[in-house]
Amino acid sequence: MRRLLIIGIGAGDPEQVTVQAIKALNRADVFFVVDKGDDKQDLMLLRQEICERYVENRSYRMVMIPEPERDRSAPAYRQAVERWREERAELWAGVIESELADGGCGALLVWGDPALYDSTLAIVGQIVSRLGPQELDYEVIPGISSVQALAARHRVSLTQVGRPLHVTTGRRLAAEGFPAHCDDVVVMLDAHCSFTGVDPATEIYWGAYLGTKDEILLSGTVGDLGGRIEAARGEARGRKGWVMDTYLLRRPAP
Ligand SMILES: C[S@@+](CC[C@H](N)C(=O)[O-])C[C@H]1O[C@@H](n2cnc3c(N)ncnc32)[C@H](O)[C@@H]1O
């Protein structure tokens, strides 16, 4: 039996790694790191910094898992993502089988929280059904997500009294607009500043590179700030080669 720990490491600030995560980091013999390519080098360095800072057992190993190319232009988004997950599951299963000894404990460090827009749990689920639960067991350790970091940095609650919160992607916000059933929407994975399509009176609480030295925070109405956010995002992306941003949209009071 091999064991895998899926550890949420927070969204950028090493101080937001939980005590439970630190204990889990110290149980692992091997860290599996998914290689996302050069433009995400900073994220890789942060994972290494977390291991160096918190892991007391210096005999651990880091094993890279290559990332298969993803077809981002495919019109059938869901099918393309499922195909990509299957390819990843096959690759990961091979690496885990060859690099993790029987009885060994491996760890996968997941950005933010593993339960939010992350495919690690789905992929590990596929690997377990392939290898059999008697071969691989796994545990999940929650992390502080970028959504929680955003709310804390803006000192704002995500929910209003007794009201729901909707979490969605930039792609869906652009396609479907502000959902009719709620007043508060958190948007992630937005490569195209989809907030520009909502009512300009909507409030926006925007954050990029949350928890890191490059953090940018802006809040106001979309009408007042939309252009400034687009410019700040474009400039930061050009300078660093990548950007991760999250925002809360709040419907204006009637
Ligand atoms: C693949 S999802 C992973 C989300 C992650 N599991 C979490 O709990 O935050 C990546 C998206 O998370 C958001 N994100 C992650 N880290 C962030 C950060 N440090 N600052 C702002 N947004 C971040 C962005 O919307 C980005 O497009």
Average pLDDT of span 127-149 = 94
Task: Please tell me the least confidently modeled range out of 18-27, 81-90, 94-103, 171-180.
Answer: 81-90
**Ligand 1 atom nearest 212 alpha carbon:** 19
Which residue's C-alpha comes closest to atom 15 of ligand 1?
Answer: 146
CA distances from 154 to 124, 230, 236, 246 (A): 34, 19, 20, 12
Q: Is the CB of 225 under 6 A from ligand 1?
A: no
Mutate to test the pocket of ligand 1, among 16, 70, 117, 119 (most ligand atoms within 8 A of CB): 117
Cα of 146 from ligand 1 centre, angstroms = 5
Mean pLDDT estimate for the chain? 92
Q: Give, for 245, the enclosing helix (H) or strand (E).
A: strand 245-250
Residues 26, 60: Cα–Cα separation, whole Å: 9
Q: Is the CB of 246 under 6 A from ligand 1?
A: yes
pLDDT recorded at residue 17: 97
**Ligand 1 atom nearest 115 alpha carbon:** 6
Task: Please tell me the least confidently modeled range out of 13-27, 51-65, 133-147, 232-246.
Answer: 51-65
pLDDT recorded at residue 48: 85
Q: Is the CB of 244 under 6 A from ligand 1?
A: yes
pLDDT recorded at residue 77: 77
List, for residues 184-241, the tens digit of each pLDDT value: 999 999 999 999 999 999 999 999 999 999 999 999 999 999 999 999 999 999 999 9
Cα of 188 from ligand 1 centre, angstroms = 7
Q: Is the CB of 215 under 6 A from ligand 1?
A: no
Residues 49, 44: Cα–Cα separation, whole Å: 9
Cα of 244 from ligand 1 centre, angstroms = 6
pLDDT recorded at residue 39: 57
Average pLDDT of span 48-74 = 84
Q: Is the CB of 118 under 6 A from ligand 1?
A: yes
**pTM for this prediction:** 0.93
Of 188, 191, 177, residue with least CA distance to 149:
188
Which residue's C-alpha comes closest to atom 27 of ligand 1?
Answer: 189
Give the single-character DSSP code of 251. Answer: P
10 Å CB burial of residue 12 (0-12, 13-18, 19+) is buried
Give the single-character DSSP code of 74. Answer: -
Q: Is the CB of 194 under 6 A from ligand 1?
A: no
List, for residues 13-41, the tens digit of each pLDDT value: 999 999 999 999 999 999 998 876 655 67
Q: Is the CB of 247 under 6 A from ligand 1?
A: no
